[in-house]
Amino acid sequence: MIKYKLSCVGGCTFEGWFRSSDDFDAQSREGRLECPYCGSADVARAIMAPAIVRGGAPAPEKEARLAHMREAIAEAARRARDYVEKNFDYVGDRFPEEARRIHYGETKHRDIYGEASGAEAKELAEEGVAIAPLPPVPGAVADKKKIN
């Protein structure tokens, strides 16, 4: 197995595990890769530093630090998602249309979030519409297509 750091056209970064480099190339060619945050199908390998594996199990202190870090990240993601859900207007499937109307000054500015496909998110980004995916909450079933 090989782990790659991946990125999408929308600027999201994430990891992917593949049987081999050829497996990644085949999935990419066939359009079977998708960003778990914004749903974009335009995914590529990102630059990453090589991992050097040292013998033996990780020290208990390192495991404890990593567990604490994962908990802190999960809590920050929950707080960010809660903030958006409490303070932004949910526009559902109308997100791309509403985001454009706000961007082009056709309607009063307001903070919104909703649903967009990967293709729609890519189009918005290419137009210069400021969007960002909601952070996933580890351990929770999150809708990967909600973005703000």
Mean pLDDT, 10 residues at a time, the chain of 148 residues: 86 87 89 86 79 64 83 85 93 96 96 92 93 74 45
pLDDT given at position 41: 86
Residue keyed to tokens 């050829």: 22
pLDDT given at position 68: 84
Residue keyed to tokens 């903030």: 83
Tokens for 1?
């197995």
For 69, residues 6+ apart whose C-beta sits below 8 A from its C-beta are none
**Interatomic CA distance for residues 6 and 46, integer angstroms:** 5
pLDDT given at position 86: 95
pLDDT given at position 92: 94
Whether this prediction's pTM lies above 0.75 is answered by no
